[in-house]
Amino acid sequence: MHLRRRGLLACAGTTLLPMGAGAQGDWPNRPIRLVVPFAAGGAADSAARAITPVMTQRLGQSIVVENRTGAGGSVGGGAVAASAPDGYTLLWDASSHLVNPALMKGLPFDYASFVPVSLVVTFPGVLAVKQDFPAKTLAEFIALAKAKPGSISVGTQGNATAGHVGLLQFCKRAGIEVIHAPYRGGADAARDLAAGAIDAVFITTVSAGPIVDSGRARFLAVATLQRVPSRPDVPTLAESGFPGFDSNEWAALFGPHGMPAPIVAKLHEALTAALADDGVKQRLAQIGAVPVGSAPADFARFVKDGREQMAVLVREAGIRLD
């Protein structure tokens, strides 16, 4: 005969668990809300929508993607931070998760309180130039920038974004000065590059790829440790004189503070299965995303180290939100 859990606890003379705590083994038993703090159709949103169908199959409950944009991603982050830690409201965040704490004062929540589940995918950063730009290689680009400091305009997807941070790191290591041209997104920067309004961009391969493929721009280097499978002929900054250089946008899964470890484990298991699915791999490749699927502990270290590094970089570079 099956004894109810309440009876077992009473016979043992123990205190009953708090409401909901004993139901973790039944999780999930209703739909899950995945908050994406960025616009629909962007790289992070597209990756979420590529992965969640398979996660839904594994978990047995639907995962509803909800775009809550605004304030550099902090509106969506705040919504998840204020939610119950029961695994039914999750956050799909990007590098702003590390940047915002260093830039935004007086936030009503603490980014450090989120529970890291996994670094899911990365979107390789890239340095590209307009088609008629005189530099044909990265070395020539640097030489030109040194010969004429402050004469080359480089677009990014906005102030304090992964592209902006990557550009700052590149310029510091290369010993050059350029004009930073922040846009409202990588697509806008790519559009102006194609039109010849700016000289170069430091954005993702997702945004720069279409104009390069159309012959209106050229890749000089990708900002990853290894070459990007979809762009095997493009050298990395790491192999071009900047060892260890790795600057990517990324998308990752978090839960609100206090989300139980068993739920984290179930989420990670479903996520790992999704990233191993051939259909998901194909869809991610189409949007230029590189699967990662790191373990929760590894991702927690990544977030902690990244937040500390970002605070130093923002302070030293004097980055401001405009």
Look at 89-98, 126-135, 179-188, 253-262 and tell me which has the smallest mean pLDDT: 179-188
- The CATH number of residue 220's host domain is 3.40.190.10
Place of tokens 């350029």: 178
- Domain containing residue 118: 31-122+249-317
Q: Which two tokens stand for residue 214?
A: 């159309």
Please compute the mean of the pLDDT values over residues 20-46 and round it to a whole number.
Answer: 83
CA distance 303 to 4: 41
Q: Are residues 218 and 161 in the same domain?
A: yes
Q: Given a cut of 80, is residue 52 above it in pLDDT?
A: yes
For position 181, what pLDDT does the model report? 96
Domain-located, residue 164 = yes
Which is more confidently placed, 286 or 110? 110
CA distance 95 to 161: 7
Q: Given a cut of 60, is residue 279 above it in pLDDT?
A: yes
The residues, any chain, with a CB within 8 Å of residue 268's CB and separated by 6 or more, are 117, 118, 295, 296
Confidence of residue 322 (pLDDT cuts 50, 70, 90): low
Look at 10-24, 155-169, 289-303 and tell me which has the smallest mean pLDDT: 10-24
pLDDT per position as a tens digit, 201-238: 999 998 899 999 999 999 999 999 999 888 999 999 99
Q: Are residues 115 and 148 in the same domain?
A: no
Q: Are residues 157 and 224 in the same domain?
A: yes
Contact 237, 223 (CB under 8 A): yes
Domain-located, residue 312 = yes
Q: Which two tokens stand for residue 309?
A: 């590094």
For position 286, what pLDDT does the model report? 86
Nearest one of 104, 50, 241, 249 to 162, comparing CA atoms = 249
Q: Given a cut of 90, is residue 23 above it in pLDDT?
A: no
Domain-located, residue 212 = yes
Q: Given a cut of 50, is residue 17 above it in pLDDT?
A: no
- The CATH number of residue 47's host domain is 3.40.190.150
Residue finishing a domain among 240, 257, 285: 240
For position 230, what pLDDT does the model report? 84
pLDDT per position as a tens digit, 132-176: 999 999 999 999 999 999 999 999 988 878 899 899 999 999 999
Confidence of residue 321 (pLDDT cuts 50, 70, 90): low
Confidence of residue 199 (pLDDT cuts 50, 70, 90): very high
C-alpha distance from residue 219 to each of 26, 34, 216, 242 (Å): 50, 34, 11, 17
Residue finishing a domain among 178, 211, 240: 240
Q: Given a cut of 90, is residue 19 above it in pLDDT?
A: no
Please compute the mean of the pLDDT values over residues 102-115 and round it to a whole number.
Answer: 93
Which is more confidently placed, 90 or 1? 90
Please compute the mean of the pLDDT values over residues 282-299 and round it to a whole number.
Answer: 94
CA distance 76 to 321: 18
C-alpha distance from residue 50 to each of 43, 73, 102 (Å): 11, 20, 31
Q: Are residues 83 and 168 in the same domain?
A: no
